[in-house]
Amino acid sequence: MTDGVLLREATMDPLLEGYDLLIIDEAHERTVETDVLFGLLKRTKAKRPGLKLLIMSATLNVTKFSDFFDECPIYTIPGRTYPVEILHSRDTTKIGVLKSSYVTKSLDTVMHILSKEVRPGDVGDILVFLTGQHEIEQACQELKKLISEKKKAQHESSSTSSSGEWLDSLDQLQILPLYASLELLDQTAIFGPTPRNGRKVIFATNIAQTSITIPNIRFVVDSGFVKQKMYDPLTGMDALLVVPISKAAATQRAGRAGRTRAGICFRLYSKESFETDMDEETVPEIKRTGLTGTVLSLKGLGIMDVNGFEFLDRPGQEELSAALRELYMLGAIDQFGRMTEVGEGMTVFPVNPLLARSIVEAKRIGCLDKVITISAMLSIEEPFYLPRKEVEQDAARLAHDQFYHPSGDHVSLLNVFEAWRDADYSKEWCHKNFFNFRHLRLAKSIRSQLRDIVDRKPAHNKDTSTHSNTDLHVRDKNTGTDTTDSKQSTTSSSSSSSSRLIRQAFSQGYGIHLSKKHHHRQMFYHYLASTSSPSSGVSAAAPSSSLLALHVSPLSALYLDEERSMTKLGRKVARDLEWIFYHEVVYNVKAVMRYVSKIDDIRWVQETMDRAKLFDRGDVWLNGERSELPSDKEIRDTAASDEDLGRSSENKRDSGAISSEKESDEQAKKRARLEMIEAARKRALDRRQNRP
């Protein structure tokens, strides 16, 4: 099973009494789930001394694992490897400066290996570590071009010297890319046998460092860089950055040259850079990623004080606080950090918490099946496939356009999946329409898993939302079922009613990603209404990305450039394009929103706005700081004794309202009631503490 599956089992069986022995393999990968599992297993081991744990790691630093688990014994199993000669660059330039030239230097090194290090008849392939798909494809094309130019120059000079013999030996050379999103068919050549008198040059991402083993590698070219996703809790954004690798990663890369025979590793950085500029170990994922899902899991396990949870490597306080804030904004925890009914419903779904919240809402308003499908599509890598050849890319974009919906990317993803389903999940359909078959197949598997969870656990049939009148649907108070016209849940995804329902459900999960179009520039900005600072329009509950220019991804259905604005789809997209929500923001050269959809009615996110106001007042203790919580009776008694509270709250109006549409009296009463309850809860706490 995966570490995530075991984590979910722990929510139902905290002592894991169904197991006597647990083996955690690939511990050196240090995923977030694995690190949380380590902390849980340490707690479980203290309560169940008879539980046996076996931690298997390929890292050289196993002492950290031993120290964490109370200095447990270490057993070392030597692997069969061959000697690897390490050759560092003589250039003493700092590794940070190398970032602008490592691709070119990698190509130069490959040409050196082909011309100087190997002879005709020698065996052994070349593995080059680069950072991403784009530069790998670029390197493949550049190497082909370099070899072609060398051959052309040799032919024109009519040289018969031995110095040109190495070029003649390259007729059987295979130049291959390797990255995670590569089509399965393109990967087979990498693992197949090398042709006789031939050689492979494989340009790969970090996937070739630990995840897979490529046979017959003799030479490794280590660029010294890797692309990592880094989370900034202050902006709430993921930045995909090219950063230097660690010493441990460099050692792993070099080891790839010594699996089947003695090899050579060419490092493009100096020995001094290796010793002084590189960290000892790769920064664990838990210290560079958002922790909302992690904290939700811990809350689901009954751990109120997540700040006190023992991690193998403790994440930063800002990351933990940001996760608690986000869970509160989602309604997964209340102001005292206690799990709500909505939060409990979210924990059963093994997806991003924002998706889980959307699924819970979809169950409530009657569009569950479609939202599950879209959630599965949002849980995979990019399903849209752009060919490596530029001549085919225009055809791919035209093929993709037919699935775009003017409301945005969420319904567009549903259109893709349903069209693929109608084609009997055909691989040929994917090739014809330029979609990644392997990724769509994974989405189908995730969808089945989510559907099984819903069918197996029919909880939360009742209304799990704290509001009842801010949406456009009425629920039967006795049965909890959706009394909206049932035809809406079975209509085509492209219909207006179905599209609205879908986006209304997702707005509950992604209301914290609300963005408003700038009036004068082609950009958006993050927005959360605030009673504490209405002039700025920014809430303390919002990340500081409020101040950043956010741009729609060029791959989005809502992307508008001059050419697209003239099309029929472009004109529909431009209509009412003021409020949107996004799945994520990735920062590279600029902040780009991925998977964006329109918000038709700002009331869809009103509940998130209300929580933002309470957060701004500071009336929240999300890590369980208030251990003695008032009972519901105390809250009611406090509210009843404060006669002025209800009247004053009822007359409040939000001066920072973001909708030009006048609020209904019913909505105002609902929000006043929410504020009154929260104020009464605070006063009840104060009265309890002031008792003699």
Does position 208 have pLDDT exceeding 60, yes or no? Answer: yes
Statement to judge: residues 590 and 511 lie in one domain: yes
The b/e string for 195-210 (b: 16+ C-beta within 10 A; e otherwise) is eeeebbbbbbbbebbb
Residue 261 placed within a domain: yes
> Considering only CA atoms, which of 217, 263, 267 is closest in space to residue 244?
267
Q: What is the mean pLDDT of residues 120-134?
A: 88
Statement to judge: residues 217 and 365 lie in one domain: no
- Residue 645 to residue 649: CA distance in whole angstroms: 6
What local confidence, expressed as pLDDT, does residue 535 receive?
37
Residue 543 placed within a domain: yes
HSE at residue 223, side-chain half, CA atoms within 13 A, is: 33
> Considering only CA atoms, which of 351, 359, 408, 349 is closest in space to residue 380?
351
Which element (helix H / strand E) includes 582? strand 579-587
CA distances from 517 to 285, 365, 478, 550, 649 (A): 33, 28, 41, 9, 32
Statement to judge: residues 601 and 644 lie in one domain: no
pLDDT in tens, 385-396: 887 777 788 899
- Residue 515 to residue 578: CA distance in whole angstroms: 8
CA distances from 156 to 111, 318, 454 (A): 20, 64, 70
What local confidence, expressed as pLDDT, does residue 685 receive?
56
HSE at residue 448, side-chain half, CA atoms within 13 A, is: 7
Statement to judge: residues 272 and 235 lie in one domain: yes
Does position 278 have pLDDT exceeding 90, yes or no? Answer: yes
Given 280, 315, 350, the domain boundary residue is: 280
pLDDT in tens, 614-655: 887 777 788 766 545 554 544 555 455 544 444 444 444 343
Which range is least confidently modeled, 1-5, 127-131, 237-241, 477-481? Answer: 477-481
Statement to judge: residues 49 and 130 lie in one domain: no
Cβ burial of 544 (10 Å; 0-12, 13-18, 19+) is: middle
pLDDT in tens, 33-72: 999 999 999 999 999 999 999 998 877 678 888 999 999 9
What local confidence, expressed as pLDDT, does residue 482 receive?
38
Given 43, 59, 75, the domain boundary residue is: 59
Residue 76 placed within a domain: no
Does position 442 have pLDDT exceeding 90, yes or no? Answer: yes
What local confidence, expressed as pLDDT, does residue 623 receive?
78
Q: pTM to 2 decimals?
A: 0.77
Using the Cα atoms of residue 670, residue 671, residue 676 and residue 678 in order, give the sign of their dihedral. positive
Statement to judge: residues 364 and 408 lie in one domain: yes
- Residue 385 to residue 436: CA distance in whole angstroms: 5
In the numeric block, the tokens 């709250």 are attached to 649
Question: In this structure, are strands 237-244 and 225-232 parallel, antiparallel, or unpaired?
Answer: antiparallel
Show Cβ contacts of residue 565 under 8 Å, excluding neighbours closer than 6 positions.
Answer: 571, 574
Does position 659 have pLDDT exceeding 50, yes or no? Answer: no
Statement to judge: residues 51 and 102 lie in one domain: no
Statement to judge: residues 101 and 140 lie in one domain: yes
The pLDDT > 90 percentage for the chain reads: 46
Residue 670 placed within a domain: yes
For residue 171, the domain's CATH number is: 3.40.50.300
* Confidence class for position 353, pLDDT limits 50, 70, 90: very high
In the numeric block, the tokens 């660690």 are attached to 246
The neighbouring-strand residues paired with 286 are none
Contact call for residues 406 and 596 (beta carbons, < 8 A) = no
Contact call for residues 327 and 292 (beta carbons, < 8 A) = yes
pLDDT in tens, 448-486: 999 999 998 544 443 333 333 333 333 333 333 333 333
Q: Strands (DSSP E) along 82-188, which ranges?
A: 84-88, 125-129, 173-178
pLDDT in tens, 669-682: 556 655 665 666 56
Q: Name all contacts of 183-189 with Cβ < 8 Å and 24+ positions apart.
A: 183/385, 183/436, 183/437, 183/438, 184/437, 184/438
CA distances from 612 to 173, 508, 535, 594 (A): 60, 14, 15, 24
What local confidence, expressed as pLDDT, does residue 598 receive?
95
Mean pLDDT of the chain: 81
Residue 565 placed within a domain: yes
Which range is least confidently modeled, 148-162, 386-400, 558-572? Answer: 148-162
What local confidence, expressed as pLDDT, does residue 642 receive?
46
Statement to judge: residues 602 and 636 lie in one domain: no
Given 245, 262, 280, the domain boundary residue is: 280
Residue 193 placed within a domain: yes
> Considering only CA atoms, which of 322, 334, 313 is closest in space to residue 291?
322
Statement to judge: residues 52 and 95 lie in one domain: no
What local confidence, expressed as pLDDT, does residue 172 receive?
79
- Residue 315 to residue 298: CA distance in whole angstroms: 14
Q: Strands (DSSP E) along 464-566, which ranges?
A: 514-517, 524-526, 550-552
Show Cβ contacts of residue 21 under 8 Å, excluding neighbours closer than 6 positions.
Answer: 51, 52, 53, 54
Show Cβ contacts of residue 305 under 8 Å, excluding neighbours closer than 6 positions.
Answer: 623, 624
The b/e string for 436-466 (b: 16+ C-beta within 10 A; e otherwise) is bbbbbbbbbebbeebeebbeeeeebeebbbb
What local confidence, expressed as pLDDT, does residue 676 receive?
62
Task: Report which listed range, 172-186, 195-209, 564-578, is most confident.
Answer: 195-209
Structurally, the chain folds into a number of domains equal to 4
Using the Cα atoms of residue 429, residue 431, residue 433 and residue 436 in order, give the sign of their dihedral. positive
Show Cβ contacts of residue 292 under 8 Å, excluding neighbours closer than 6 positions.
Answer: 322, 323, 326, 327, 353, 354
Contact call for residues 125 and 201 (beta carbons, < 8 A) = yes
Statement to judge: residues 260 and 349 lie in one domain: no
Q: What angle do CA 231, 353, 318 make, to 5 degrees?
A: 35
pLDDT in tens, 503-549: 999 999 999 999 998 877 778 888 763 333 433 444 555 555 556 88
- Residue 637 to residue 37: CA distance in whole angstroms: 43
**Position 247, amino acid:** K
Residue 371 placed within a domain: yes
What local confidence, expressed as pLDDT, does residue 182 receive?
80
Statement to judge: residues 580 and 674 lie in one domain: no
Q: What angle do CA 201, 391, 431 make, to 5 degrees?
A: 80
CA distances from 381 to 325, 333, 385, 442 (A): 27, 29, 10, 9
pLDDT in tens, 25-43: 888 888 899 999 999 999 9
Residue 316 placed within a domain: no
- What is the domain range of residue 107? 84-280
Task: Report which listed range, 117-121, 369-373, 559-563, is most confident.
Answer: 369-373
